[in-house]
Amino acid sequence: MSKLIRVGQQLRLAVALPILALLSACASIGPGSMNRDRLDYAEAIGSSWKQQMLLNIVKLRYADAPMFLDVSSVISSYQLQSQVSLAGTASTGLTAGLRDATGHALAVGASGMYTDKPTIAYTPLQGDKFTRSLLRPIPPAALFQLVQAGYPVDLIFQLATRAINGVYNRTDRPSGSREADPGFYQVLDALRRLQLSEAIGFRLEKRGTEETSIFAFSGNKRNPSVEQDSLFLRSTLGLKPDARELNLTFGTVPRNNQELALLTRSVIEILRELGTRAEVPLSDVQSGSVLPSPQPRPDSGPRDLPLVNIYSATEPPANAFVAVQYSQHWFWIDNRDYRSKSLFSFILLLTSLAETGVTPQAPVITVPVN
């Protein structure tokens, strides 16, 4: 009798353990998986976005064609199947399984299957969307919206503009490099001081059927340094001496002395500028596969240094903010270089600002409900 009781206990345990294991797996499906999946996918998408951007900067450095893939949708589908079986047989010989005192063999079995099938849709950036996002110059109003959000105006303009009212920025493009005009960096410094003093502003106005962007000086004569910077900007940029509000427009030169004309760069142009200053292996320069980096002049100042420091080596880096492999070498941004990290992250934001118009619809995906 005691053997029969012991066999029954073993049977119940054999049936209960697989069921409990399957029920514990169910606890992580549905609402329980949201925190884990959302954070994991967000981290993975962000990391791949950084790697894609750095890789395209390096490819442009090597005169290679860039390629962008957008993650248009992520769908995580789970499936759980379980089966429990119980069977009994009578046998006089030795059998596998649990045997009671009368010689009967008892067999118990359980099976389970857990499937995680994520569906990720990618959309190549090409055609009109490629033109809008990467080839068209960034709208001047978008840059000033970043200024209003607190981003440093001097770094924004140094990175994303070619000229302000005909005063040109530095460029290192292989097709034609040039130094910045004498007054360009001074204009950036004055704008930054006015921004810190909250003496400049930006707003959008509806004039008839068109939306007009207004750049305004809000400084007053009670602050001599603010007024001095305002007068310097008006003089250097050819603005009306007593102008307090300026129409903001895209172009090389303004139509009159009450207009602020920004000749902005496209995203591709920004990436090419950054790629030109990226460090490359000497062997690649000697072989002719890439042009050497432009050498700084003896009188170069801090603003003539690369905005983003990109390093290269044959071995993978130990402490990288983002790293990619190209042409049998590693390229990376150091995690301890805060300025380069922040500027690189800002470029990712610029790619979103450059997108205009209606975004193409992602492919329609049918997911079975289990």
**176 Cβ partners below 8 Å, 6+ apart?**
none
Cα(296)–Cα(43) distance, rounded to whole angstroms? Answer: 38
Can you give the pLDDT at residue 359?
46
Q: Residue 192: which pLDDT band, with cuts at 50, 70 and 90?
A: very high
Evaluate whether residue 132 is within a structural domain: yes
Evaluate whether residue 167 is within a structural domain: yes
The upper half-sphere exposure of residue 42, i.e. CA atoms within 13 Å in the direction of its Cβ, equals: 6
Can you give the pLDDT at residue 338?
94
User: Which of the listed ranges 197-211, 285-299, 316-330 does the model predict with the highest average pLDDT?
Assistant: 316-330
What's the rounded mean pLDDT across residues 11-18?
A: 56
Evaluate whether residue 183 is within a structural domain: yes
For 337, the domain range is 127-353
**Is the distance from CB of 297 to CB of 179 less than 8 angstroms?**
yes
Cα(266)–Cα(351) distance, rounded to whole angstroms? Answer: 9
Evaluate whether residue 226 is within a structural domain: yes
Residue 340: name the closest of 326, 354, 319, 318 by CA: 319
Enter the pTM of the model.
0.76
Evaluate whether residue 368 is within a structural domain: no
Evaluate whether residue 173 is within a structural domain: yes
**Is the distance from CB of 345 to CB of 335 less than 8 angstroms?**
no
Q: Residue 206: which pLDDT band, with cuts at 50, 70 and 90?
A: confident
Tokens of 10: 């073993």
Evaluate whether residue 71 is within a structural domain: no
Evaluate whether residue 11 is within a structural domain: no
Total domains, the chain? 1
For the stretch 89-112, pLDDT in tens is 555 444 445 555 555 565 656 666
Answer with the residue of higher pLDDT: 20 or 134: 134
For the stretch 228-282, pLDDT in tens is 898 899 999 999 988 888 899 999 889 999 999 999 999 899 999 999 989 999 9
